[in-house]
């Protein structure tokens, strides 16, 4: 009844075909606005990967997307669609900011653990309510997380305008953090060991992001909690039968997911902007959905997809510079097409591929 | 008194796009297709309507073009969620981004004004209509000004939106189409075994949703304002979704919810904060209130919002 | 193929060479089935014999890969339900196809509205329902909301739907599975009325007693084929049972007399009221002793499932007490499964697909479901010790002859019998003191049934207590030492297996205790 696909087809072939379709559609959009897609791809790739400057930015963006992509993936493994990454990241930013502003930190190594805690706790706090409401009251988590994104946005505006703003200034942003909180930039770290790199925003958080991806892999595939989380994600009745408390696992999953989304603030706020700026999340929470879908909710896939989106974001900026008719909004279009083809229209590819394999090697039972 | 009338007037103007989008969502979701892409469809329609109206100098041609754009997005959603049995929520997310990106990308390409469309002249917009005797009756103290300023002097789309409420109720509960639409959202198996095509019934509902979202979007750019600006829906599609949940997927309560949320928006525009003596309510709280109320309703602390039973799930014949 | 072409007009339905497969599974193989007009024709077969698929083909839910359907002797293409309705076929599905928030009238007219507005159709249906109610004993309040009706009444709505569409042929798929005996009797009266009006009725069931009671002819299905069509008057349950399973069934399981030990589990005044306020369990009290198999019989839906789930700690009871070896168990939560396991109460759930296994998991991952917190599976840093789990999984595969013998295979890719063995192996391997087991052989092939029965008896002989819930009376009788019968959430009677028979138990299942006259 359910013909089996070989693992490689499921993990590589289908995502690749979906992605191909998404990019073909994006190419059609470029043609529609009267530009040359081949030239566009050229500038995109050169802009993102052609220089250490481009690479630095690419990985700076990728770092953010690894965090938000992991956040969506973890929830996805437990069968929860967390669309609230955007709001959880924004609140996580408040957490980082409060830590950084609280003390005249002497050195970033001292500030970082507390900032991680701040980002994680605040992000988690914003995710725990939708998680709890889903588990206890059956409130659809997709809708509540969407609502929480808007509530977070209003809250951050309120805080920046009324509480955290520099007195006398009109700009809705906090004062600069003490230099002792600034995470080292990648060009500084590489410079210390004799490798020169153009200054870019890529910073120490990139290393944290890779650690987070590894940690997520261990969590999902090696720990008892991950086992419970996956069992729950596949079948709630079976999880209950296996002694797994659905309320507990839903809340814990959302806490981890929200904390992970909050971590992106380490990269943007603490690592680069060194102050809290209105709308610093800039849609990264939503990119996480695309990244998780493309990466099949597996940490390795998420890292690869996040780098791809890093390329798109950095390359897209360069592209907009070189070909002004293709504005940066092209990135949002591509992101949408990736979500569409790898998520919603997945069966466009999966069904024919499955049929094809079914014909080649019929199942034997 | 003036303040009250002005607030009531702008509440109605602000409630109109919400109401159209909310009813749009109602058709789709009562038929079992969740739609978190209302926002994107509105945005696509707002852009297309303004762009076409700017080029043709006709509000009507703009409206039709806007509706067609919205319907095109609806068809993507229908293809994903009905034909290909994909995830309806993810499809909605994709549609929102697609609209957000495409409108600005194409707008910039066509008009080169940072994603905006050119300012629309009054004759390529929908303007207010004076109802009969508005001036005369306006002089009657009490109800007169309410008639003149609150009920009269809106553009056609406002009246269409309010007329759509009883019409939707009638379609839903008094016609064959409505019966089948509600049935397909509750138990598509029953519809299928009764010899009715689940697919075409759901497609019809999603298309109606597209048309209404299209009118809503066109209203934003060619009636309420004079042109399109980047991301001009600014969450209205989600407020409409919130209103739909708040109204528990019923037409008359949808009207009430949209008026309430429109009123909150009108308050927020008029006052930066509301000073209640000891308590100062910031404008951000008023902006967030529709979302907070929806979460409260969803949590079942005040009543319980139960979506149509078959909502969100593609129909697969069971053995 | 059709030698008696002369009497073809006698046949309301004739299926000729119908075949249907789903992937590699052939659900129907070259089916030939003649059904005479104005008769009640039964189709019996075990679960998975292909009965429902065949009826779905007849009703246009699936299209056959090969073969022909003849209605009143005319070849008729039935590609969808609409074509079936046009051909005069109505169907009462096992899971009712009703829109619960709709009224009876709205459900009846759905798809037969005859015009764009509802008002005329509702008026017409109202009159029609009154007439049908008189004619066939099908009384239902036309304005009642269907979701508020009992299953018996909901079924009547299904029949009314078919009659409103003026069907001549009515298909019923397992119509009594959810009915009380009184409701079932009423249904049979309705069917007789319909038959006397010249309607043709096709009834699918796996209950032989019903076939004997109500049908004129019966066809037996096995493994996707019709093995025989007989006149009901000229056959008997034993012959039908034999045809169903394909060999003489040995209903006796070889087992020595029980050596009963001390009470292990004591249940006192257990009540369960569901969220709709309906009582599912009503003052249930009983004991289970070490070394005995306590069978719980009853028509599906009389509280057995709920009882099993409360005991297993995955459904909360409203009141009452359960004690195990003298200590009181928590029966108020749905999250006590782990506690139950750790004190030695294991559970093989009724629905292994939904509950007992996580289908997309590899076999080894399922081999520790529920026991994944045991010390022997604990690795460093809250991880799972995969090697330990996999070794155990391999052991179980060997001991329980699970095929194919690969612990890396996805669970969904095992056959039903092997999946059940995976669950059973996991639960028995721990040598639990009490085993709760529901429908142990549902959807399981014959060979595996015998194996599973032997395992259960062996566990009993090792001095463990077993509570066995099954809707198969034969299975209850063959395995149990003592039998409780449940009816409407109550225990309607208790018997020693050696002192009862099918007739006695059947009455108890209908809520009548022959020893005390009317009870329950």
Q: Where are the alpha helices (DSSP H) in B31-87?
A: 38-56, 59-78
Q: Of B174, B318, B319, which is closest to C118 when you measure between CB atoms?
A: B174
Contact B187, C107 (CB under 8 A): no
* Residue of C326, C358, C330, C324 lying closest to C436 (CA atoms): C324
Mean pLDDT of B246-273: 91
- Decide if A138 touches C, using CB distance below 8 A: no
User: What pLDDT, on a 0 to 100 scale, did the predictor assign at position A4?
Assistant: 64
Contact criterion met (CB below 8 Å) for A349 and A14: yes
How far does the CA of residue A326 sit from the closest CA of chain C (Å)? 44
Give the closest of B105, B241, B295 to A33, CB-based.
B105
Q: Is the dihedral of CA C503, C506, C512, C513 positive or negative?
A: positive
Chain A residues touching residue C357 (CB < 8 angstroms): 238
SS3 C359: coil
Evaluate whether A288 touches A305 at the Cβ level (below 8 Å): no
Q: How far apart are CA C500 and CA C492, in angstroms?
A: 14
- Does B79 sit within 8 Å of A333, measured CB to CB? no
Contact C415, C20 (CB under 8 A): no
A318 interface with C at CB cutoff 8 Å: no
pLDDT in tens, A267-287: 999 999 999 999 999 999 999
State the SS3 of chain A. CCCCCCHHHHHHHHHHHHHHHHHHHHHHHHHHCCCCHHHHHHHHHHHHHCCHHHHHHHHHHHHHHHHHHHHHHHHHHCCCCCCCHHHHHHHHHHHHHHHHHHCCCCCHHHHHHHHHHHHHHHHHHHHHHHHHHHHHHCCCHHHHHHHHHHHHHHHHHHHHHHHCCCCCCCCCECCCCCHHHCCCEHHHHHHHCCCCCCCCCCECHHHHHHHHHHHHHHHHHHEHHHHHHHHHHHCHHHHHHCCCCHHHHHHHHHHHHHHHHHHHHHHHHHHHHCCCECCCCCCHHHHHHHHHHHCCCCHHHHHHHHHHHHHHHHHHHHHHHHCCCCCCHHHHHHHHHHHHHHHHCCHHHHHHHHHHHHHHCCCCC
Q: Which residue of B has its CA nearest to A137?
A: B299
Nearest-by-Cβ selection for A133 from B76, B81, B298: B298
Q: How many CB atoms within 10 Å of residue C71?
A: 20
Which residue(s) pair with C230 in the sheet? C218
Rounded CA separation C93/C222 (Å): 21
pLDDT string in tens for chain C (520-residue length) = 444 444 446 899 999 999 998 776 788 999 999 999 999 999 988 766 788 889 989 998 888 999 999 999 899 999 889 999 999 999 998 889 999 999 999 999 999 998 999 999 999 999 999 999 888 888 899 999 998 888 889 999 999 999 999 999 999 988 887 777 678 888 999 999 999 999 999 999 877 778 888 999 999 988 888 999 999 999 887 777 777 766 545 556 778 888 999 999 999 999 999 877 778 999 999 999 999 999 998 877 789 999 999 999 999 999 999 999 989 999 999 899 999 999 999 999 998 888 999 999 999 999 999 999 999 999 998 999 999 999 999 999 999 989 889 999 999 888 888 899 999 999 999 899 999 999 998 777 767 888 899 999 999 999 999 999 987 778 888 899 999 999 889 999 999 998 988 778 877 877 777 776 544 4
Higher pLDDT, A327 or A115: A115
Residue-level pLDDT at A131? 96
Q: How many CB atoms lie within 10 A of CB B195?
A: 18
Q: Which chains would you list as touching C if contact means 3+ CB atom pairs under 8 Å?
A: A, B
- Is the CB of residue C492 less than 8 Å from the CB of residue C477? no
Q: Is the peptide bond before C404 cis (omega within 30 degrees of 0)?
A: yes
- Mean pLDDT along residues A170-183: 90
Using an 8 Å CB-CB cutoff, list chain A residues near B295. 129, 133, 139, 144, 147-148, 151
Q: What is the pLDDT of residue A138?
A: 85
Q: How far apart are alpha carbons C466 and A298 in whole angstroms?
A: 42
Q: How confident is the model at residue A364 (pLDDT cuts 50, 70, 90)?
A: very low
Residues 6+ apart with CB under 8 A from B304: none
- Please give the residue of chain B at the shortest CA–CA distance from C106: B179
Chain C positions touching chain A (beta carbons under 8 Å): 22-25, 312, 314, 334-339, 341, 347, 349, 351, 354-361, 365, 369-370, 372-373, 377-379, 381-384, 386, 410, 412-413, 415
Alpha carbon of C356: minimum distance to chain A alpha carbons (Å): 6
ipTM over 0.95: no
Q: Is the minimum CB–CB distance between A136 and chain C shorter than 8 Å?
A: no
- C336 contacts in A (CB within 8 Å)? 243
Q: Does A237 touch chain C (CB under 8 A)?
A: yes
More confident residue, A5 or B29: B29
CB proximity B317 to C under 8 Å: yes
Say which residue the tokens 């409630």 belong to: B15
Neighbours of chain B (3+ CB pairs under 8 A): A, C
CB contact under 8 A, B91 and A34: no
**Burial bucket for residue B229 (CB in 10 Å: 0-12, 13-18, 19+):** buried
CB C469, CB C439: distance < 8 Å? yes
| Chain C residues within 8 A of A364 when measuring between CB atoms | 24
Which of B187, B192, B309 minimises the CB distance to C81? B192
Please report the pLDDT score of residue C248 as a whole number: 45
What distances in angstroms separate CA C489 from CA C150, C438, C515, one per listed residue?
15, 17, 20
How far off is chain B from C135, nearest CA to CA, in Å?
A: 24
- What distance in Å separates the CA atoms of residue C69 and residue B143, rounded to the nearest whole number? 71
Q: Tell whether B250 is within 8 A of chain C (Cβ).
A: no
- Burial of B89 per CB tally in 10 Å (0-12, 13-18, 19+): buried
Contact flag C81-B317 (C-beta cutoff 8 Å): no
The predicted pLDDT at position A141 comes to 92
All residues of chain B having their beta carbon less than 8 Å from the beta carbon of residue A326 are 105
**And the tokens for C369?**
């479901």
Collect all residues with Cβ–Cβ distance below 8 Å to C466 and sequence separation of at least 6: C288, C292, C293, C294, C434, C435, C437, C456, C459, C460
Q: Is residue A169 scored above 90 in pLDDT?
A: no
Query: What is the per-residue pLDDT for C245?
Result: 65
Q: Evaluate if residue A362 carries a pLDDT over 50.
A: no
Residue B141 pLDDT: 80
């Amino acid at each position: 009844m359910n013909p089996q696909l070989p693992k490689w087809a499921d993990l590589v072939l289908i995502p690749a075909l979906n992605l191909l379709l998404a990019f073909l559609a994006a190419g059609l959009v470029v043609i529609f606005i009267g530009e040359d897609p081949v030239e566009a791809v050229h500038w995109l790739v050169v802009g993102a990967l052609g220089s250490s400057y481009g690479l630095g930015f690419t990985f700076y963006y990728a770092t953010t997307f690894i965090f938000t992509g992991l956040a969506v993936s973890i929830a996805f493994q437990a069968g929860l669609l967390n669309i609230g990454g955007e709001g959880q990241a924004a609140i996580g930013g408040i957490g980082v900011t409060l830590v950084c502003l609280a003390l005249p930190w002497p050195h970033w190594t001292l500030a970082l653990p507390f900032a991680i805690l701040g980002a994680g706790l605040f992000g988690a706090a914003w995710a725990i309510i939708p998680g709890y409401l889903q588990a206890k009251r059956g409130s659809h988590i997709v809708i509540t997380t969407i609502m929480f994104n808007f509530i977070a946005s209003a809250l951050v505006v309120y805080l920046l305008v009324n509480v955290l703003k520099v007195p006398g200034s009109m700009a809705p942003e906090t004062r600069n953090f003490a230099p002792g909180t600034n995470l080292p930039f990648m060009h500084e770290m590489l410079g210390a060991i004799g490798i020169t790199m153009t200054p870019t925003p890529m910073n120490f958080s990139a290393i944290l992001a890779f650690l987070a991806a590894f940690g997520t892999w261990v969590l999902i595939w090696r720990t008892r909690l991950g086992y419970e989380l996956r069992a729950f994600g596949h079948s709630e009745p079976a999880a209950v039968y296996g002694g797994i408390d659905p309320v507990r696992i839903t809340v814990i999953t959302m806490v981890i997911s929200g904390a992970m989304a909050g971590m992106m603030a380490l990269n943007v706020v603490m690592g680069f902007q060194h102050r809290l700026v209105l709308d610093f999340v800039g849609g990264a929470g939503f990119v996480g959905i695309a990244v998780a879908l493309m990466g099949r909710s597996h940490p390795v896939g998420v890292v690869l997809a996040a780098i791809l989106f890093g390329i798109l974001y950095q390359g897209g900026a360069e592209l907009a510079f070189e070909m002004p008719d293709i504005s940066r909004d092209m990135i949002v279009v591509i992101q949408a097409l990736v979500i569409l083809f790898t998520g919603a229209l997945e069966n466009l590819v999966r069904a024919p591929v499955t049929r094809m394999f079914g014909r080649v090697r019929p199942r034997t039972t | 008194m003036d303040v009250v009338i002005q607030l009531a007037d702008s509440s109605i103007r602000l409630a109109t796009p919400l109401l159209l989008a909310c009813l749009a969502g109602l058709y789709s979701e009562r038929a079992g297709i969740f739609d978190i892409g209302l926002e994107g469809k509105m945005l696509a329609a707002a852009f297309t309507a303004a762009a076409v109206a700017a080029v043709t100098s006709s509000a009507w041609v703009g409206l039709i073009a806007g509706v067609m754009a919205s319907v095109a997005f609806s068809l993507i959603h229908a293809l994903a969620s009905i034909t290909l049995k994909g995830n309806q929520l993810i499809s909605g997310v994709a549609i929102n981004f697609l609209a957000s990106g495409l409108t600005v990308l194409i707008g910039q390409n066509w008009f080169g004004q940072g994603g905006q469309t050119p300012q629309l002249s009054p004759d390529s917009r929908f303007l207010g209509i004076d109802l009969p005797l508005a001036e005369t009756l306006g002089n009657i103290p009490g109800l007169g000004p309410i008639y003149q300023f609150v009920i009269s002097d809106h553009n056609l789309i406002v009246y269409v939106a309010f007329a759509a409420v009883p019409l939707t109720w009638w379609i839903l509960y008094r016609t064959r189409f409505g019966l089948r639409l509600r049935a397909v959202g509750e138990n598509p198996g029953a519809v299928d075994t009764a010899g009715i095509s689940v697919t075409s019934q759901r497609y019809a509902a999603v298309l109606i949703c597209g048309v209404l979202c299209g009118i809503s979007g066109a209203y934003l750019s060619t009636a309420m304002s004079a042109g399109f600006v980047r991301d001009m829906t600014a969450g209205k599609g989600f407020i409409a979704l919130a209103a739909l949940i708040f109204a528990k997927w019923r037409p008359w309560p949808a009207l009430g919810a949209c008026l309430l949320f429109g009123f909150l928006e009108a308050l927020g525009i008029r006052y930066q904060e509301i000073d209640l003596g000891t308590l100062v309510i910031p404008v951000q709280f008023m902006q967030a209130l529709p979302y907070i109320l929806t979460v409260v309703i969803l949590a079942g602390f005040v009543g319980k919002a139960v979506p149509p039973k078959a909502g969100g799930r593609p129909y697969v014949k069971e053995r | 193929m059709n030698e008696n072409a002369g009497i073809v007009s006698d046949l309301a339905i004739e299926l000729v060479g119908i075949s249907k497969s789903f992937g590699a599974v052939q659900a129907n193989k070259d089916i030939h089935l003649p059904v005479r007009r104005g008769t009640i024709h039964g189709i019996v077969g075990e679960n998975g014999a292909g009965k429902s698929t065949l009826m779905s083909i007849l009703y246009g839910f699936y299209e056959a890969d090969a073969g022909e359907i003849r209605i009143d002797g005319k070849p008729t293409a039935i590609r969808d339900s609409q074509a079936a309705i046009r051909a005069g076929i109505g169907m009462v599905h096992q899971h009712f196809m009703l829109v619960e928030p709709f009224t009876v009238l709205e459900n009846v007219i759905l798809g037969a509205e005859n015009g764009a507005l509802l008002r005329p159709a509702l008026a017409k249906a109202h009159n029609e329902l009154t007439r049908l109610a008189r004619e066939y004993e099908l009384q239902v309040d036309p304005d009642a909301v269907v979701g508020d009706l009992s299953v018996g009444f909901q079924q009547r709505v299904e029949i009314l739907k078919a009659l409103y569409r003026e069907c001549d042929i009515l298909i019923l798929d397992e119509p009594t599975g959810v009915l009380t005996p009184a409701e079932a009797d009423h249904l049979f009266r309705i069917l007789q009325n319909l038959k006397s009006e010249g309607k043709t009725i096709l009834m699918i069931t796996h209950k032989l007693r019903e076939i004997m009671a109500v049908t004129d002819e019966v066809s037996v299905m096995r493994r996707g084929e019709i093995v025989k069509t007989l006149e009901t008057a000229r056959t008997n349950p034993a012959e039908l049972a034999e045809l169903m399973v394909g060999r003489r069934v040995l209903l006796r399981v070889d087992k020595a007399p029980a050596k009963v030990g001390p009470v292990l589990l004591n249940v006192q005044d257990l009540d369960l009221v569901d969220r709709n306020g309906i009582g599912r369990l009503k003052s249930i009290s009983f004991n289970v002793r070490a070394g005995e198999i306590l069978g719980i019989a009853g028509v599906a839906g009389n509280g057995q499932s709920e009882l099993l789930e409360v005991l297993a700690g995955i459904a909360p009871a409203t009141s009452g007490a359960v004690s195990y070896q003298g200590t009181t168990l928590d029966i108020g939560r749905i999250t006590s499964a782990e506690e139950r396991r750790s004190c030695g109460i294991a559970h093989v759930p009724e629905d292994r697909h939904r509950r007992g296994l996580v289908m997309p998991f590899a076999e080894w991952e399922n081999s520790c479901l529920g026991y994944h917190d045991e010390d022997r599976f604990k690795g460093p840093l809250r991880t799972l010790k995969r090697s330990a789990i996999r070794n155990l999984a391999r052991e179980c595969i060997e001991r329980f002859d699970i095929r194919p013998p690969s612990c890396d295979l996805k669970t969904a890719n095992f056959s039903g019998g092997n999946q059940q063995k995976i669950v059973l192996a996991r639960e028995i391997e721990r040598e639990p003191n009490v085993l709760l087991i529901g429908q142990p052989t549902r959807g399981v092939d014959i060979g595996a049934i015998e194996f599973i029965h032997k395992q259960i008896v062996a566990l009993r002989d090792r001095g463990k207590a077993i509570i066995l819930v099954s809707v198969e009376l034969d299975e209850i009788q063959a395995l149990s030492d003592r039998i409780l019968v449940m009816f409407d959430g109550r225990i309607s009677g208790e018997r020693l297996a050696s002192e009862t028979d099918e007739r006695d138990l059947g009455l108890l299942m209908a809520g009548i205790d022959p020893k005390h006259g009317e009870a329950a």
